[in-house]
Amino acid sequence: MAAVMVARQGRDLQRYSPSTGGRIVVGCIPYRARSDGEVEVLVICSRKKGASAGVMFPKGGWELDESIEEAARREALEEAGVRGETGASLGSWYYRSRRYDATYEGLMFPLRVTDELEHWPEMSGRGRTWVSVREAMDRCPHWWMREALQRFADRLAAADDDL
């Protein structure tokens, strides 16, 4: 019998940025290497708005009872149904919330996917798709996520130069 996974809800344990007062959100760029060596990233979209509204990477609030890396891995599991290993931070960005009158601090990590689940907590509300880095860059409407993706791509290129 499989364990039932449920996404965390509520704001009781949320961390808030001392500089802006807005939430601190943590996300990741899930990735894998294809057999030909090309890297793909996993993007998600809202089923309500659909992929035509653009794609994004898993992200959500960083809670008081978890490390920042645990938060990134939890969001990947809840929103995209993947598990993996986080790498060094890609950086942090300040952005305006589209829903609330607040400035959030967003931190992003690469996540090397080790397990893709058939069922996950938010599967009924989100689609997921593996795409090239270029396609993710073209389809993501969030400037700060595109910047994180560019940093990820630059890191990959630097790693290839070392081979």
Tell the burial category of 32 from Cβ atoms under 10 Å away from its Cβ (0-12, 13-18, 19+).
middle
pLDDT at 8: 55
Q: How far is CA 82 from CA 14, 27, 54, 129, 161, in A?
A: 23, 13, 20, 12, 29
The type of residue at 127 is G
β-pairing, 82-86 vs 91-96, is: unpaired
Residue 2 confidence class, pLDDT cut points 50, 70, 90: very low
Structural domains for the chain: 24-162 (3.90.79.10)
Residue 163 confidence class, pLDDT cut points 50, 70, 90: very low
- Cα four-point dihedral sign 106, 110, 112, 113: positive
pLDDT at 13: 87
Cα atoms found within 13 Å of the Cα of residue 20, Cβ hemisphere only: 18
Mind listing the pLDDT tens digit for each residue in 29-82?
Answer: 999 999 998 999 999 997 666 656 689 999 999 999 999 999 999 999 999 999
Contacts of 84 (CB under 8 A, 6+ apart): 30, 73, 76, 111, 112, 113, 114, 115
Cα atoms found within 13 Å of the Cα of residue 2, Cβ hemisphere only: 8
pLDDT at 1: 38
Mind listing the pLDDT tens digit for each residue in 119-154?
Answer: 999 999 889 999 999 999 999 999 999 999 999 999
pLDDT at 10: 58
pLDDT at 12: 78
Mind listing the pLDDT tens digit for each residue in 78-124?
Answer: 999 999 999 999 999 999 988 888 899 999 999 999 999 999 999 99
pLDDT at 3: 43
Distance between CA atoms of residues 163 and 22, nearest Å = 42
